[in-house]
Amino acid sequence: MARRGILTTAHGQVATPAFMPVGTAGAVKGITPEQLKTTGAEIMLSNTYHLILRPGVETIEKLGGLHEFMAWDRPILTDSGGYQVFSLSPLAQITDDGVEFASHINGSKLNLTAESATSIQNRLGADIIMCFDQCAPFPCDNATLQKAVDRTVRWAVQCKKAHSRKDQMLFGIVQGGIDLPLRERCTKEIVDLNFDGYALGGLSVGEGHDNMIKTIEHTVPFLPEDKPRYLMGVGTPLDIITAVHAGIDMFDCVLPTRNGRNAFAFTGNGPVRLRNNAHINDPAPIEQGCDCYCCENFSRAALRHFFNVGEMLGPIMVSIHNLRFYQKLMAQIRQAIENTQFNKWADETGEKYRSLELLKNTQNSAISL
């Protein structure tokens, strides 16, 4: 099911399968737009909920729209705020009409509906905008899951009617947890609305890798072949490889930068934890052969020192490395598909990452004992 494509937007083309770095509040933390480009990123993600709170849609409009505000002249995707219904659930009151949030900053009230979330994204000016949806927690009872799916479909209809810009793509979102019949029903109803692309939401929320992949494999065949497929909020290298194998085209996740800020570096031979004493005098880069600015200029010893003294250069450099690692992974995936070698490559690479994950878990268990 793996496939190679080109996504064409108002601000340029994106080679798929693609990974989108996350700039929640209008910037990828600690990374300039030029640095982000050097990692190979062709598209990035920002978040409607956070931008509404600060600096506000009016400010962004006055400053020329989201691309101008972010100094990013390539494609942007904005989430609708639907994920915050899940991640900020203690601060949210959900009804069939929408969601009332108590701001996580100062407690002020914020109401989001399908219409307002769409209108705000129209005004922000991203190239791809998302329907407002309800992401149910995992686990949850069937009645809660059914209600979340019903609202997601109802709100998708309202988003489609409210969408007012032809230069923006609007993606529908499929919910349903790991309930396969419910996923199937939701997919068919969302596809019937004829969106520009389709996202799978409500995964990577605690259900585990195997349940996630089983759900994707069941859902993807009900999606149109000629529209992009986006798996929201995923994930690890193994998650991405396996999901591409199941037919997914687009991904986003905070792991490269969040882990980078915590001295955790991704490599093809497993994670490197740069605070460890083993790196005190280590002259090697994070990963031999890596062409990122970090690996070409800094040793593991230097990076460890930066973290230990609270120097911001450490988190910045490791974030750059991790972002480059992810983009190189996507380039390898695209090349393997083009060469009709993806199945073999995915089996070998996926098995390596599974072994590394098993080793990590074994080590963690030993430490806890």
What is the pTM assigned to this prediction? 0.95
Of 81 and 257, more confident: 257
Query: Residue 257 burial (CB < 10 Å; 0-12/13-18/19+)?
Result: buried
Q: Are residues 312 and 225 in the same domain?
A: no
Kindly state whether residues 165 and 96 are assigned to the same domain.
yes
Task: Answer yes or no: do 149 and 15 share one domain.
Answer: yes
Residue from 79, 127, 133, 249 carrying the catalytic annotation: 79
End residue of a domain, out of 210, 230, 252 = 252
Find the largest Cα–Cα distance for the chain: 61
Instruction: Identify the pLDDT of residue 366.
Output: 34
Written as one letter, the residue type at 276 is: N
Over residues 33-66, the pLDDT tens digits come to 999 999 999 999 999 999 999 999 999 999 999 9
What gap in Å lies between CA 101 and CA 118, rounded to an integer?
17
* 97 counts as catalytic: no
Q: Are residues 272 and 238 in the same domain?
A: no
Nearest to 231 by CA among 162, 222, 219, 352: 219
Do residues 226 and 294 both lie within one domain? no
Q: State the pLDDT at residue 359.
A: 53
pLDDT at 367 over 90: no
Question: 129 with 111: CB under 8 angstroms?
Answer: no
**CATH number, domain containing residue 41:** 3.20.20.105
- Residue 18 sits in the same domain as residue 65: yes
What percent of the chain is modeled with pLDDT above 90? 89
**156 beta partners:** none
- State residue 108's pLDDT score: 87
State the residue range of the domain holding 268: 260-368
172-214 residue pLDDT tens: 999 999 999 999 999 999 999 999 999 999 999 999 999 999 9
Question: In whole angstroms, what is the distance from residue 150 CA to residue 59 CA?
Answer: 34
Last residue of a domain, one of 252, 275, 309: 252
- The verdict on 73 and 216 lying in the same domain is yes
Give the lowest-confidence range in 87-91, 146-150, 229-233, 312-316. 87-91
- Co-location of 203 and 146 in the same domain: yes
Query: Is residue 79 among the annotated active site residues?
Result: yes
Contact 204, 239 (CB under 8 A): yes
Residue range 298-337, pLDDT digits in tens: 999 999 999 999 999 999 999 999 999 999 999 999 999 9
**Mean pLDDT, residues 90-108 taken together:** 89
* pLDDT band for position 105 (cuts 50, 70, 90): confident
For residues 188-219, one letter each, b for 16 or more C-beta atoms within 10 angstroms of the residue's C-beta and e for the rest, the string is ebbbeeebbbbbbbbbbbebebeebbebbbbb
235 and 298 in a single domain? The answer is: no
Question: Which domain-ending residue is among 252, 281, 300?
Answer: 252
β-bridge mates for residue 179, sequence order = none
Looking at the fold, whether 224 and 303 belong to one and the same domain comes out as no
What is the DSSP secondary-structure string of 96-126?
Answer: TTEEEEE-TTT--EEEE-HHHHHHHHHHHT-
Mean pLDDT of the chain: 94
pLDDT of residue 102: 84
Task: Name the CA dihedral angle for 352, 354, 359, 360, rounded to a multiple of 10 degrees.
Answer: 110
Q: Which of 133, 210, 252, 291 is catalytic?
A: 252
Measured from the Cβ of residue 243, the count of other Cβ atoms closer than 10 Å reads 28
> Structural domain tally of the chain?
2
Contact 307, 263 (CB under 8 A): yes
Task: Render pLDDT for 237-270 as a digit per residue (tens, 0 to 9).
Answer: 999 999 999 999 999 999 999 999 999 999 999 9
DSSP output for 192-252: TT--SEEEE-S-SSSS-HHHHHHHHHHHGGGS-TTS-EEETT---HHHHHHHHHTT--EEE
pLDDT at 356: 81
Half-sphere exposure of 36 (CA within 13 A, CB side): 25
Whether residues 291 and 216 share a domain: the answer is no
Residue 146 token pair: 């059914």
